[in-house]
Amino acid sequence: MLLHGGPGATHDYLSPLRELASGGRAVVFYGQLGNGRSTHLPSRGADFWTVQLFVEELANLLGHLGITDRYQVLGQSWGGFLAQEHALTQPPGLLSLVLSNSAASYAAFSAEAVRLCAELPAEVRATLDRHQTAGTTSDPGYTAACEVLNRRHLCRLDPWPQGVSDGLAQIDVDPTVYHSMNGPSEFHVIGSAKEWPAEDRLGEIGVPTLVLSGRFDEATPSLQETLLKDIPGSRQVTFEESSRMSFWEEPAAYTAVVSEWLRGHD
């Protein structure tokens, strides 16, 4: 089961992970509620869009597909948060987790994003601060300033692969989920999920866990340390030429690492 990020993107940007099926493994992509080709509910407020909602949706989907034993979950970015929550429900059929470019809390992730912003050029920081203070984060100038960070820490390929552009563009097509749960940007988190933590519960994750990130990842090494320290049986791989989209930036290496992990825990 592949859990996409956002919250509010679509599974399309994960398309290189189709390669995981090349040996005959069933690989399931799905668009989470409110995203892509799933049902959209733009009239719902932030109190509706909760982490628990997506935990229940995943459980419902697994049941609908008859996936009750011998399955593994890969969650990327926000999908990694969701994967942790799923594992914490102690599903009996879950064999292992892959937490890709993720963190153990929204607050910690946001703090690292803010720190990375401080390293941006002064004029970019000024633009971000001005629009966040004025509440004009829909202004094209704010979007352009966010792109500077994204090109450093989200995907360092130039130009971006079409799959990355298409998948993330869906956030703007219907920003309901992203704005309700996250906010206008990765480093200005004001949505319903801003207080989500798993740090105090990581020891309850009872399956082997692979923690993946890129050297230039927005989910920085300090965020991965918490996951590795507190999840029993966890292992880390860092992709040295990647930011947050290692499956695009180093696709062969990423697929090889994940495929080996999945085979080892079948």
Between residues 94 and 194, the one the model is more confident about: 94
pLDDT digits over 118-144, tens only?
A: 898 899 889 988 988 898 888 889 888
Any idea which of 10-24, 140-154, 221-235 has the lowest mean pLDDT? 140-154
User: Which ranges in 19-120 belong to alpha helices (H)?
Assistant: 51-65, 78-88, 106-117
pLDDT score of 194 more than 80: yes
pLDDT at 30: 97
Helix, strand, coil % in the chain, rounded to nearest 5? 50, 10, 40
Give the number of domains in the chain: 1
- Half-sphere exposure (CA, 13 Å, Cβ side) for 150? 14
pLDDT confidence of residue 66? 97
pLDDT the model gives residue 44: 93
pLDDT of residue 64: 97
Residue 20: its pLDDT value, please? 97
Model confidence at 29, pLDDT cuts 50, 70, 90, reads very high
Indicate if the pLDDT at residue 186 is higher than 80.
no
Least Cα distance to 220 among 145, 152, 165 occurs for 152
3-state secondary structure of 252: helix
pLDDT at position 80, please?
97
Domain with 141 in it: what CATH number? 3.40.50.1820
Query: Could you read off the pLDDT of 145-178 as tens digits, one per residue?
Result: 888 888 999 999 999 999 898 888 888 899 999 9
Q: What is the pLDDT of residues 74-89, one digit of tens each?
A: 999 999 999 999 999 9
Q: Given a cut of 90, is residue 103 above it in pLDDT?
A: yes
Share of the chain above pLDDT 90, in %: 73
pLDDT value at position 48? Answer: 96
Q: What angle do CA 152, 134, 122 make, to 5 degrees?
A: 35
Give pLDDT tens digits for 33-60.
999 999 999 999 889 999 999 999 999 9
What residue has token string 């869009």?
A: 49
pLDDT at 221: 85
| Per-residue pLDDT, 266 | 93
* 57: number of Cβ within 10 Å: 16
Domain that holds residue 180: 2-264
pLDDT at residue 23 tops 90: no
Whether 188 has a pLDDT exceeding 80, the answer reads no
Contact 71, 3 (CB under 8 A): no
Q: Specify the pLDDT at position 33.
A: 97
Rounded average pLDDT over 211-240: 94
For residue 175, the model assigns a pLDDT of 92
